[in-house]
Structure 1
C-alpha cells in the first residue's frame, strides 16, 4: 500500500464533482525523464468543463535540443475523466499506478525558443504524428492537502486541493513511422482541483527531480514562501524548511539556464542542488489582458556534488 501524508485518499486519483465556479479546473500532470536517452517531457490535462474546454499540453524534449510540442483546448462538457484532444489518463491502481497515452500531431521545434511566438512557430515548423504510452508507478509517498469547505485554503484561487508523488516511468514513444523508443526513467505527478487562474499568483519557481527510486525532491518558491520536500524510499518524507535559490538566465531574457539551491531540511540536514537546463521551451498564458510567462526547463541536477538526477524546473512570472 502507498503511504499517504495529508488528508488525500487513493480514490482522489479519479475526478471530482464539478464545482460551481466558472474557472473550476481539475488537472493532472506527469513529467518523465530517461537519463540514458537524455530525453523527457511532460503531459498535462486540465478540465475546465464550466468554460466548455480542457487545456492539454504535451512536450517531449529530445537529446539534440529539439522538442515536440502541442497545446490544445479541446471541447468538453463534463468532468468525468481526462480524455480529450488525443490525450487519455487511466487510473490503473488508485494511488499507485497510472497510464497516460497521447496519439496525435505535434509541432517539431528544432529551436524550442521559437514558441515565444506560438502562432508563427506552429505555422513555420513541420508537424509530426506521435504515439506516447507511459505507465507511472509510485516510488515515494503521496503528499498533499484537500481544503475542507470553509476551512483553511478553501478560498485559494490557484488550487484548493493538491497532491504530488514521485514516480518511476516505463513506456514507449514513436515519432511518425520511426522506431519505437523504450522509455525508462523517473518523474513526478501532480493532481489538483478547484478554481484556478494562472494569473492569481505573481510568480513561482517549481523545481522537481529524481535521483533514482530512493530519492526525489520538490522545491517551490512562491513569492517569499519556501516549501518542498525530499522523499527517501516509499515511506519517508522530509520537509524543506529553508532555501536560497540563485538562478542564471540567457542574456537579457527571462529564460532560465541554470540554478543553485542551498536548502535545509526539517531534520537538520543541509544540501546543495546544482541544476543545468538541457532543454528549454517558453510558454505563455493570456487571460483578460494579462500575460503569464511559464518557462519549462528539462534539467540535470547534481546533489551535493555527487549524485546526478533529472527533472523539470518551471519558472512562472507575470509580465508587466
Structure 2
C-alpha cells in the first residue's frame, strides 16, 4: 500500500507524530511526540518531549489534555513548549522544544522511503529514517546539532487498557542504514510467542519489511532497559538473521497517567558498523 502524507481519521481516532534524534559527537539526544484526538469542542492535543545532554536528562514535558482548535492539524501544530510543522510532505519537517533553560530547534529531512507499520493493533502509520540538523540550547549556550534520527506518524484507535508492554526500537547506523521495530504484548499474554511484532530495514533506496523481527532485553533492578539484542530474519529464503546489539547511553522515566514510559538511547552495532538509536518501553504503571 502506498504511503501518503494525508490520511482520513475516523471519529475518536488518535493521531500522533514522533521525532527522535541523536548527535553522539555533541552527546545530545532527544524525543518529541505531538498528538491529536477528538473532534470539535472535544479536540485535544498532547505533548511529550525529553532531551538529554552528556547523558543526563535536562528537560522533559508531558501534557496529555491540551485544548486546541477544531481545525488543528499537522501543517503546523503549536502546543505549550512544543511546535512541529510540515515543510515538504514526506520529505522535510521542523520541530521545536522550548523549555525554561533548555530546548532545541531542528529540521528533519527524510533519508529513506516511508516504511508502513501496523503495530500497535488497531493503528496504521509509517516510519522514516532522517538526517537531523539545527541547534540545541543549554542554559543559554547554543550548540549545533548534526545527527541522525527518525520521524514516525501513526493513527487509529488503540485500546491502551489491553496493553501490558510496548517496545519501540530505532537504530540509526553510521552507514546510512536503519532499523525500526515495535513489539506489543497484551495483558494476559503467555510470553514472547504471543507478542505482536513489526520491523523494517531502512536505507536511502528502500524500506524493507522484516519477516520475523526478534528482540531480547536485559533490565536493571528497577526494570529499565540496559542492553538489547536484535535478531532480524528478513525473509524465509535468507540463510540466517541479521543481528544487532545495543548498550545504554542514557535514559529517563516519565509517568503518563496509568502508563509509564522508560525512554532510553543506546549505542548500536550491526555488521561491524556502529550507530545510535532509541529504545522505549511503555508499560502499565505500578501502583
Instruction: Please classify the TM superposition score into its range, dividing by the shorter chain length.
Output: 0.7 to 0.9
User: Contact 2:58/2:102 (CA < 8 Å) preserved in 1?
Assistant: no
* Structure 2 residue aligned with 1:186: 148
- Give, in whole Å, the separation in 1 of the partners of 2:175 and 2:83: 25
- The answer to whether residue 129 in structure 2 is matched with residue 129 in structure 1 is no
User: Contact 1:17/1:79 (CA < 8 Å) preserved in 2?
Assistant: no
- Give, in whole Å, the separation in 1 of the partners of 2:269 and 2:120: 34
* Structure 1 residue aligned with 2:59: 68
User: Contact 1:87/1:101 (CA < 8 Å) preserved in 2?
Assistant: yes
Query: Counterpart of 2:70 in 1: which secondary structure?
Result: coil
* Aligned residue-pair number: 269
Query: Counterpart of 1:210 in 2: which secondary structure?
Result: strand
Query: Counterpart of 1:92 in 2: which secondary structure?
Result: strand
Deviation at 1:57, TM superposition (A): 1.0
- Give, in whole Å, the separation in 1 of the partners of 2:198 and 2:121: 16
* Structure 2 residue aligned with 1:119: none
Q: How does 1:293-304 map to 2 (within 5 A)?
A: 293-304=260-271
Pair 1:66–1:90, CA change in 2 (3 A) = closer
- The answer to whether residue 14 in structure 2 is matched with residue 19 in structure 1 is no
- The answer to whether residue 104 in structure 2 is matched with residue 139 in structure 1 is no
Gaps of 5+ in 1: 1-5, 106-127, 146-152
Pair 1:84–1:243, CA change in 2 (3 A) = closer
* Structure 1 residue aligned with 2:206: 236
Equivalent of 1:264 in 233, 246, 257: 233
Equivalent of 1:164 in 127, 144, 149: 127
Pair 1:38–1:129, CA change in 2 (3 A) = closer
Query: Counterpart of 1:199 in 2: which secondary structure?
Result: helix
Deviation at 1:67, TM superposition (A): 3.2
Equivalent of 2:219 in 228, 233, 249: 249
What's the TM-score once normalised by structure 1's chain length? 0.76
- Give, in whole Å, the separation in 1 of the partners of 2:57 and 2:284: 26
- Give, in whole Å, the separation in 2 of the partners of 1:207 and 1:18: 26
- Give, in whole Å, the separation in 2 of the partners of 1:158 and 1:225: 8
Pair 1:159–1:311, CA change in 2 (3 A) = farther
Tell me how large the CA RMSD over aligned residues is. Answer: 2.3
Pair 1:45–1:246, CA change in 2 (3 A) = same
Deviation at 1:173, TM superposition (A): 1.0
Query: Counterpart of 2:166 in 1: which secondary structure?
Result: strand
- Give, in whole Å, the separation in 2 of the partners of 1:42 and 1:65: 14
- Flag as ranges the 4+ runs of structure 1 deviating above 6 A: none
Query: Counterpart of 1:204 in 2: which secondary structure?
Result: strand
User: Contact 1:159/1:192 (CA < 8 Å) preserved in 2?
Assistant: no
Equivalent of 1:318 in 266, 284, 287: 284
Deviation at 1:280, TM superposition (A): 1.1
